[in-house]
Amino acid sequence: MAGEGGAGVAGEFDFRFTFVLQRRGASSSPPNRFERLRTVPPGAPGSFDLGLEPDPDEPPFDPRTIFLRDSSRTIVATNTSPDVGFDASVNPYRGCLHGCSYCYARPNHEYLGYSAGLDFETKILVKTRAPQLLRRRLSLLSWKPQVVAFSGVTDAYQPAERRFRITRGCLQVLAEFHNPAAIVTKGALIVRDTDVLGELAEWGGASVVISVTTLDEDLQRRMEPLAARPLRRLAAIEALAAAGVPVGVNVAPVVPGLTDHEIPGIVAAAAEAGARFAGMLVLRLPYGVKEIFSEWLEAHVPERKERVLARLREMRGGKLYDGRFAVRGRGEGVYAEQLRAVFDLAARRSGLAGRGPTLETRHFRVPHTGEQLGLFPET
């Protein structure tokens, strides 16, 4: 299956390849909540032991990463959630190689017929036509200039981006149209694109938030197997700030009973690196993520497991998850208020108490490219 051509996309790559990655955030593939049937490879977690001798011609279960072409015909998603600061977003990938054990986006993979567990980090859908689709969308008379957010679901700077360069291609399109972009990522690869981000920032069209969960490299490596190391994220903040790109830190997710004590240290380190603003979000575990993260706690920090889960229940009215707007990312109760107070004090002391920049839309323009959109362009 040959790739499609186009600037900024992986036209030269064959999508049939796979490669092995040993570090995973999930240890199993919990059942898809939309599917009645479930197929489990022999030897995989959750498979049945039929008492048979191993087949020497059959390799042991080894989750591999597979890249699949996503044939989506649109690229700009919209939402009406009051919890996020944007209405339009672009997600170049579905699934994420970072493999964060707690990722709230995992259940989205179930809509594709996959599992929120290992499938989420081993079956990555790649939107190779994203830059072209974005160009078409911004060229329509119906487009209202507005901030386009990246990593609203899965990380736009996950390791796959190093090969496919789709996020970069989309940013180049936004720069041509002078349409602002806001990015949240835990990928240090974003430093590669400081040239485009700096161009956007010149007219108030760029904002970046680097998420930092912990400064403990050993804990981070186990909890977020293929995400950038803490020091590399701080270095990314420094590089972006030096390039004139407004950059902040998101202490997220705060894992009660595990990383909550690190809030002041993370904020201070980010401020020293050049961050201008800061935010905080508390861990949330929708649907099958509860099972995946509980398994991770049992495997990596069993002595902390009950404490972490008890703290979450304390903040969620006795449940592990509360999906209500304005509550899901903050929690409720005395403990939630204490976390917020600690963060607010740390942000004030570090000079990061202000909000992020308001991005400009008044510079929007439709460049003349000579491309014929056709009578019925894709929306």
343 backbone dihedrals φ, ψ, rounded to 5°: -65, -45
pLDDT tens for each residue of 50-62: 344 444 544 444 5
Q: Hey, is 182 helix, strand or coil?
A: strand
Residue 184: its H or E element = strand 181-185
* Predicted local confidence at residue 379, as pLDDT: 41
Among 22-36, 229-243, 259-273, 279-293, name the one with the lowest average pLDDT: 22-36
CA dihedral 75→80→83→86, nearest 10 degrees, is 50
Q: What is the pLDDT of residue 187?
A: 96
Looking at the predicted structure, is the pLDDT value of residue 15 above 60?
Answer: no
Instruction: Supply the pLDDT for residue 56.
Output: 53
Residue 366's pLDDT band (cuts 50, 70, 90): very high
pLDDT band at 17 (very low <50, low <70, confident <90, very high): very low
**210: three-class secondary structure by DSSP:** strand
Query: Which stretch of DSSP H or E encloses residue 334?
Result: helix 334-349
Give 218: exposed, middle or buried? Use CB within 10 Å, 0-12, 13-18, 19+: exposed
Of 37-46, 115-124, 358-367, the one with minimum mean pLDDT is 37-46
Question: What whole-number distance in Å separates Cα of residue 256 and Cα of residue 307?
Answer: 8
Tokens describing residue 21 = 């990655």
Report helix, strand or coil for 30: coil
Summarize pLDDT for 328-350 with one digit per residue, the tens. 889 999 999 999 999 999 999 99
**DSSP for 244-311, written as a single string:** T--EEEEEEEE-TTTTGGGHHHHHHHHHHHT--EEEEEE----TTHHHHHHHHHHHH-TTTHHHHHHH
Apex CA 327: angle with CA 322 and CA 330, to 5°?
110
Note the pTM of the prediction, 2 decimals: 0.83
Q: What is the sign of the dihedral through the CA atoms of 106, 248, 353 and 361?
A: negative
CA gyration radius for the chain? 21
Return d(Cα 156, Cα 186) in angstroms, integer: 9
Share of residues in the chain with pLDDT > 70 (%) = 79
pLDDT, residue 65, reads 84
Lowest-pLDDT range, 81-85, 188-192, 262-266?
81-85
pLDDT at residue 70 is higher than 90: yes
pLDDT > 90: percent of the chain: 71
The pLDDT assigned to 58 comes to 44
* The pLDDT value given to residue 369: 60
How large is the average pLDDT for residues 168-178? 98
159: pLDDT strictly greater than 50: yes
Confidence of residue 45 (pLDDT cuts 50, 70, 90): very low
CATH of domain 18-32+63-349: 3.20.20.70
Is residue 33 within 8 Å of residue 114, measured between CB atoms?
Answer: no
Average pLDDT of every residue of the chain? 85
**Residue 18 has what pLDDT?**
44
